[in-house]
């Protein structure tokens, strides 16, 4: 059965280099199923900390005859994986504090992977800061709007780099990202709409800061 992914998961799938992939926090298991059924991955290890979630992923793979290509493993973060067992680790749809905690735990255990493909729902700056400690270089970093929500997607490879404070906060390529600029414009407008109904000095200050940031993008 062919499967349609939403824009967020489609973008993540398009950034996977062919090879072995782990989908950590796989839940429904759609990403892993899509990757093996479209020959974008040779093998997927789908993991989740929740047994009912993992069951959904296993059933999807079983029903569609790809269980020989999808290994399902119960466990927290990167615990179910050994170092370099896969080429790419995907962690999507979790908060940035949880994702950075998972990366930190793996780093402390000495686990290494060639690529991370991460989509934090919140706090992407925490993820970028931890990636630097993991000695990973960001090769893709952009925002995407899907069903009215803003998502960050970050892809890495091994290698050290230092991001400045703004790159850590807004994204490595924020100065040139059309998506980031559009998102900033939307955020400013939303805050102005709130100000029109309910003025607050604090919010006004935030709008001014964001407008100053927008000016640096235009300049």
Ligand X SMILES: C[S@@+](CC[C@H](N)C(=O)[O-])C[C@H]1O[C@@H](n2cnc3c(N)ncnc32)[C@H](O)[C@@H]1O
Residue ranges in contact with ligand X by CB under 6 A? 9, 24-27, 47-50, 53, 76-77, 92-94, 98, 102
CA 186 to chain centre: 21
Contact 159, 137 (CB under 8 A): yes
Nearer to ligand X, 149 or 218 (CB): 149
- Starting from the edge strand earliest in sequence, which strands make up the sheet with 149-158, in order? 70-74, 43-48, 20-24, 88-94, 115-120, 149-158, 136-146
DSSP state of 114: S
- Please provide residue 79's backbone torsions phi and psi, each rounded to the nearest 5 degrees: -55, -40
Nearer to ligand X, 24 or 188 (CB): 24
Nearer to ligand X, 26 or 143 (CB): 26
CB atoms within 10 A of CB 186: 12
DSSP state of 59: H
Q: Cα–Cα distance between 61 and 132 in angstroms, integer? A: 35
Nearer to ligand X, 141 or 167 (CB): 141
The continuous run of DSSP H or E covering 46 comes out as strand 43-48
Least distance to ligand X, CB of residue 151, Å: 9
Least distance to ligand X, CB of residue 98, Å: 6
Least distance to ligand X, CB of residue 60, Å: 12
Nearer to ligand X, 123 or 206 (CB): 123
Nearer to ligand X, 70 or 94 (CB): 94
Quick one: tokens of 159? 């290698």
CB atoms within 10 A of CB 97: 14
């Amino acid at each position: 059965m062919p499967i349609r992914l939403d824009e967020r998961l489609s973008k993540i799938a398009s950034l996977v280099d062919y090879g072995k992939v782990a989908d950590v926090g796989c839940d429904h298991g759609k990403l892993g199923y899509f990757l093996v059924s479209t020959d974008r991955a040779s093998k997927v290890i789908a993991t989740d900390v929740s047994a009912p979630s993992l069951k959904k992923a296993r059933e999807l793979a079983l029903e569609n005859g790809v269980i020989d290509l999808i290994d399902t493993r119960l466990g927290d973060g990167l615990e179910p994986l050994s170092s370099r067992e896969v080429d790419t680790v995907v962690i999507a749809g979790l908060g940035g504090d949880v994702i950075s905690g998972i990366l930190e735990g793996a780093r402390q255990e000495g686990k290494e992977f060639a690529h991370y493909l991460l989509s934090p729902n919140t706090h992407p700056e925490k993820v970028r800061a931890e990636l630097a400690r993991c000695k990973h270089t960001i090769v893709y970093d952009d925002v995407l709007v899907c069903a009215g929500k803003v998502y960050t997607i970050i892809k890495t490879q091994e290698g050290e780099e230092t991001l400045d404070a703004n790159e850590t906060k807004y994204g490595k390529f924020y100065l040139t990202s059309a998506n980031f600029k559009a998102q900033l414009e939307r955020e400013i407008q939303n805050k102005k709409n709130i100000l029109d109904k309910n003025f607050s000095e604090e919010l006004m200050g935030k709008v001014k800061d964001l407008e100053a940031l927008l000016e640096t993008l235009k300049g």
